[in-house]
Structure 1
Amino acid sequence: MKIEVMLADGHPVVRCGLRRMIEGTPDLEVGAETGNGNTALELLRSRAWGLAVLDLWIPGRSGLELIKLIKAELPRLPILVFSAQSEEHYALRTIRAGASGYLTKDADTETILAAMRSIAAGGVHFTQSVAALLSTDFSRRTDAPPHTLLTDREYGIFDRIVRGHALTEIADDLSLSIKTVSTHKSHILGKLNLQGQVDLVRYAIEHKLLDPTLE
């Protein structure tokens, strides 16, 4: 019996590429796909799945929040995060949220398929870079940089702000009110001891949190 995979990615071209990759294997098949986080959650609730492959940034419920919701309801479901976001910035957070693997979208076909099979079989799949990060988890250190102490929600909003997303766009993407996003922004500024958006961007640059290859 083939392992049924549910794909959730906001970019149709990425889903198409993954689907074609999987269709060429004897042991994996795409059971459903979506570009919306809310729909992904509904699909995963509808029946048993062998593996969920999720992007961090998709409309509706996205990213770390979605992973936490899935694991709360379906704790045995294996999750592979397949994202354009840098491992250094997000891998540890996705692992703590419940993902069993993290790959960036520049991974080759062999690596992606190996990760899917390993995770679906109950294992984990992390690159050497992620393993190194796990061994020096900043969130558990007293000298942790301020941004590592942001909540997952705050970090997601911080990341979007420094990449130039307007608060209205962030609110729509995360299905939040403008007031809620503004409140999170205020909390972020307070935790980082900064005054405004320009300071946030400067902080991100100084701490190498902006990856120009993802713009």
Structure 2
Amino acid sequence: MPSTPTRTVRILLVDDHPLIRSGLAQLIATEPGLQVCAEAEDAPSALDAARTHQPDIAIVDLSLPGASGLELLRQLRAAQPQLPVLILSMHDESLWAERTLRAGARGYIMKEQAPQDILAAIRHVLAGNVWLSPAISARILGRISGDQAVSPIERLTDREIEVYTLIGQGLTMRQIAEALHVSVKTAEAHREHIKQKLSVGSANDLVRHATLWSQALPDA
């Protein structure tokens, strides 16, 4: 009896850097049974592509213009809860991996990982599993057991870390509110909570604090 052809897995790539998307597409093209069906550079185009192309998995960067990758992740989960999302980012996994899992991601892998590890993460998530590095898995277990110290930044909620990141990028409260789809009053309330948790005295001090932190982050 002839074998049934294996169905090709359709992948949506979301990254605002064309070179990154191109490199990922070339990598994926080397793997049998995987195919990039669509690419997007921001949250609106990603949501449109997911709706139009119905991918089997989305690979999403955290750094996107406008709404963050974390916000896009929430939107994708609301629109297509069956769509698994793998976060591929340069941002510190110790700060972001657990947050993205809570928001619904099925895995988190750094862009600096070897190509075969990225392909393995895609396969792992497609199989219904969660992909994390051994270091982050141990860190999460350590936090659950109470053995892991938590930094002030890590004490921020998911929304607060988004506001803090956008402050560091130079956005005003109104721009932040628009990017996160909340009111200016809500964005300002988050700013006050951040100041308290980080022991920062004024809004100007917080801007300087957030800017220095943001400048230390990778931009890809």
Same fold (TM over 0.5): yes
SS of 1:124 mapped into structure 2? coil
Q: For residue 166 of structure 1, what is the amino acid of its counterpart?
A: G
Tell me the alpha carbon deviations over residues 142-164 of structure 1, each in whole angstroms, 9 at most, x when there is no partner.
x8544333221210221343xx4
Asked which structure has the greater CA Rg, the reply is: 2
Deviation at 1:200, TM superposition (A): 6.8
**2:210 is the alignment partner of 1:174:** no
In the alignment, what sits opposite 1:46? 52
SS of 1:17 mapped into structure 2? helix
In the alignment, what sits opposite 1:10? 16
Supply the distance in 2 between the matched residues of 1:76 and 1:178 (Cα, whole angstroms): 30
SS of 2:65 mapped into structure 1? coil
Deviation at 1:183, TM superposition (A): 4.4
Over 3 Å counting, the alpha-carbon distance change for 1:23 and 1:61 in structure 2 is same
SS of 1:10 mapped into structure 2? coil
Supply the distance in 2 between the matched residues of 1:73 and 1:177 (Cα, whole angstroms): 19
In the alignment, what sits opposite 1:214? 218
Equivalent residues in 2 for 1:1-215, closer than 5 Å: 1-137=7-143, 144-161=150-167, 164-168=168-172, 171=176, 174=179, 179=184, 181-196=187-202, 197-198=204-205, 212=216, 214=218
Contact 1:59–1:173 under 8 Å retained in 2:
no
Supply the distance in 1 between the matched residues of 2:210 and 2:29 (Cα, whole angstroms): 44
Contact 1:87–1:104 under 8 Å retained in 2:
yes
How many residue pairs match? The answer is 210
TM-score, length basis structure 2: 0.80
Over 3 Å counting, the alpha-carbon distance change for 1:166 and 1:204 in structure 2 is closer
Over 3 Å counting, the alpha-carbon distance change for 1:210 and 1:168 in structure 2 is closer
Gaps of 5+ in 2: 1-6
Q: For residue 40 of structure 1, what is the amino acid of its counterpart?
A: A
TM-score, length basis structure 1: 0.82
Over 3 Å counting, the alpha-carbon distance change for 1:159 and 1:61 in structure 2 is closer
Gaps of 5+ in 1: none
Over 3 Å counting, the alpha-carbon distance change for 1:84 and 1:172 in structure 2 is farther
Contact 2:68–2:162 under 8 Å retained in 1:
no
Q: For residue 28 of structure 2, what is the amino acid of its counterpart?
A: I
